[in-house]
Chains A and B, each alone.
Chain A
Amino acid sequence: MNKIISNFLYIGSGIGLTLKLTFGGVFIGVVGGILLSILRYNGIGRSLINAIVSVLRGTPLLLQLSFVYFIAPDVIGVRLDLLSAGILAFGINSSAYIAEIVRAGIESLPRGQFEAAQTLGIPRFYMWKDIILPQVITNIFPAMVNEVIALLKETVLIAMIGGLDIMRRSQTIAAEQYEYFQPLCMAGIYYYGLVRLIESIGEKIEQRRPYAKSL
């Protein structure tokens, strides 16, 4: 029984790394994705942004992670630690997907919302900040929650460059104790619990917006 508890706690101590990678990545992804979408919508660097998004979506995340961790030091001369490299790689990759989600959200808004802002003399910055983006974010919120969940599960790739996350720890125990069923089930319980937590936070946030039904 003690062994089960100690295995469970050992695997659980990987939650910190998993969450840091997930939310760090999502933060960069959301900021980057929204910026890329707005720039592209306004025709600024559209071809370049399309190319970046295409490459990021068209190559494996593990490849991008390896580039950031192993090749970036030779190119930019800075060696990133494992956590920073992970957050950066997951964030950059996520920004490509979020850029597409935000693009769909912007295109789903009636053109009249932009025109109404224009006729009222609202400057472009405020139009995006206070009129367009709040509606876009409401529209795309379920898709964003999906993206957070997908990213959470993709963070297992950090193990490939030596990160001791939930998955890696369960594999370590399996290899040490020649017992796969128990540690893998424990990893599954942690991941499922985190996903359910993210889902319920998402549902709570959605319920708090009284105007959402009109969008």
Chain B
Amino acid sequence: MLKVCNARKVFNNTKVLENVHLDVAKSSILGIAGPSGSGKSTLLRCIQKLEQIDHGTIECNGRAGFMFQDFQLFPHMTVLQNLIYAPSLKDKSGKENCKKQAENILKSLGIAAKTSEYPNTLSGGQKQRVALARSLMTHPDILLCDEPTSGLDVSTTMDVVSLLKSINERFDITILIASHDLDFLVKISDRIILLKDGAIAVDIDPQKQDTPIDFLKKYY
């Protein structure tokens, strides 16, 4: 689904990614762990082509959707407008279709009542769901989530786990999640890589480890 070969990224003479090799299977959930500044977000941004790698290749078979750490909803648009704006530009005759589809997605994410609200009236968890819904409207084959639980409380974090898992199963979407929250990553991921100084230090299947969090912590 996604193949990263020998990727390198340098910012102001600082190596942010170095010799990253990664092969992600379709419909899997890959967790990307690592301390601050280890290159987690940069790797996702390079896959999404928000940054260009300086060396190596990234092959992505399918459309990628991106969920930003701070959601980046459009504040002057309602929830529904946030969802349908981009798809209806591509298919002007299908605005009604887009609207119907958006309403279905919002319903399945449990925020149908927020359709006409502006983002500034939503809680962190609700914004998270809207951001997720907006990504799903582009029919991504692969979803890149940058720190999706940052700033969320424990119970909302658990909601995000079940939400992303259900999306992974229902829509058959491959998911890559960059997070510093090891507990969250262990609960959700089929596989976890740990980045340290821009390179992959560990690559594990958390289900096959007795104490995956302790194991990962050793590399911090």
Binding site for B on A (CB under 8 A): 110, 112-113, 115-123, 126, 130-131, 134-135, 138, 209-211, 213-215
Contact = CB atoms under 8 A, between A and B. Distances in A.
A112 B146 CA distance: 12
Nearest to B63: A121
B184 interface: no
Contact of B48 (A119, A122, A210): A119
B70 A110 contact: yes
B90 interface: yes
Contacts of A135: 74-76
Given A211-B118, A215-B75, A122 B89 contact: yes
A117 B74 CA distance: 9
A196 B60 CA distance: 58
21 contacts: A110-B70, A113-B72, A115-B50, A115-B72, A116-B66, A116-B68, A117-B86, A119-B50, A119-B65, A120-B86, A121-B138, A122-B89, A135-B74, A135-B75, A135-B76, A138-B76, A209-B76, A210-B118, A211-B77, A211-B118, A214-B118
Interface in B83-109: 85-86, 89-90
Contacts, number: 57
Contacts of B86: 117, 120-122
B148 interface: no
Given A110-B70, A118-B50, 4 more contacts: A112-B72, A115-B66, A116-B68, A119-B64
B36 interface: no
B78 to A, nearest CB: 8
A1 B122 CA distance: 62
Contacts of B85: 120, 122, 130
Interface size on B, as a range, is 20 to 34
Given A130-B85, A211-B75, A121 B90 contact: yes
A134 B50 contact: no
B120 A213 contact: yes
A62 B54 CA distance: 53
Contacts of A116: 66, 68, 72-74
Nearest to B140: A119
Contacts of A117: 86
> Which 3 residue pairs spanning A and B have beta carbons closest together?
A214-B120, A120-B86, A112-B72
B196 interface: no
A141 B66 CA distance: 31
Contacts of A110: 70, 72
Contacts of A131: 74
Contacts of A119: 48, 50, 64-66
Contacts of A210: 118
Contacts of A113: 72, 74
B206 interface: no
A140 to B, nearest CB: 14
B134 interface: yes
Contact of A126 (B64, B66, B77, B89): B89
Contacts of B89: 122-123, 126
B39 interface: no
Nearest to A135: B76
